Amino acid sequence: MTDKKRVLILCTGNSARSQMAEGILRADGDEAFEVFSAGTKASFVRPEAIQALAEIGIDLSGHRSKNVDEFIGQEFDFVITVCDHANEICPVFPGKTRRIHHSFEDPPAPGVGDDETRLKVFRRVRDEIRAWMREFIRTC
């Protein structure tokens, strides 16, 4: 039996925000959490998310986008939705699951703007997620 809190972080594509949140919570959570992320419509992990986290020493290069269906029926202490769409259609999880919603800006889609402009948004969203996750960790 483990004392780790199980956390599932959801967004629409599991390509940016939920992936960054998963990486940050794993890195900053001091082994207190078992962390997963998924999307309501899995896609791919955005290279900008991988780069933005690499800049702060967190490696997402081995991550893959997962569909929330992979986690149906599992128990989690927390299900955190990081976009409004995922919050609206989040499935119900059994047991003592506590739902938390905090929406973060959706970084620009591939091909929108130049690389540096997109990366600036990813960095800002990364920093906002990290600040929010640190507060989450502190209050758990």
Q: Which residues are catalytic?
A: 11, 83, 90
Contact 82, 11 (CB under 8 A): yes
CA distance readout (Å), 94 to 5, 6, 75, 79: 15, 13, 6, 11
Output DSSP code: residue 56.
Answer: T
- Distance separating alpha carbons of residues 93 and 2, to the nearest angstrom: 20
End-to-end Cα separation, the chain, in angstroms: 19
Tokens read off for 18: 């939920």
